Amino acid sequence: MGQYKANSLSLRSFSLTNNNKMVGELVYPKWYSFKADIIINDKTNYKFATKGRWKSKLVLQQDDKTLAELEMTWKGVVIKTKFDNKEQNYLLKAKTFLNRKYVLIDTDKNELVLADTDFQWKKLRCDYDITTTDEFEKLDNKEVLLFVILHGINYYQTIVAGAA
């Protein structure tokens, strides 16, 4: 099992740590943007961009290669990854009614990740406590996938808040 912490450094960036060791950052160019950059500590960069007629899909790219797609559905955020030319599908959904906890589920309906949000009203920021399963920890691209999950939660919360 893995324990991660995603801290909101400002309204536009999050740091991800594992046992107080920096994994990387998720940086938004502006508040409530769907575009974002992931910077992993080994200096690898990834970019989120919008796609589709109404920009309803998010794609994660490295150079010109698409590594993941996120799409909002009634069930949650469908995440399709294409790491190492291997496609994998996941569902990121709210586990609780008040959208405080989120889970990542694989196609076999196994819960791989639990993210617990901690919204701080005084600072208008949200931190996350993220617990992963041993199965998730074995994934080669787990750090990048954690940032995809984090961005997916922010995407979900933005869409739900806009619909309210």
pLDDT digits (tens, 9 = 90+) for 22-40: 999 999 988 767 899 999 9
125 vs 40 pLDDT, higher one: 40
Confidence of residue 124 (pLDDT cuts 50, 70, 90): low
Confidence of residue 123 (pLDDT cuts 50, 70, 90): low
Segment 58-65 mean pLDDT: 94
What is the per-residue pLDDT for 108?
A: 96
Can you tell me the distance from the alpha carbon of 163 to that of 149, in angstroms, rounded to the nearest whole number? 21
What is the per-residue pLDDT for 67?
A: 97
What is the per-residue pLDDT for 126?
A: 85
Q: CA 63, 69, 153, 50: dihedral to nearest 10 degrees?
A: 70
| Residue 143 contacts residue 24 (beta carbons within 8 Å) | yes
What are the structural domains of the chain?
2-163 (2.40.160.200)
Q: Which residues contact 154 (CB under 8 A, 6 or more apart)?
A: none
Indicate whether this model's pTM tops 0.85: yes
What is the per-residue pLDDT for 163?
A: 58
What is the per-residue pLDDT for 21?
A: 95
Mean pLDDT taken over the chain: 90
What is the per-residue pLDDT for 89?
A: 97
Segment 108-121 mean pLDDT: 91
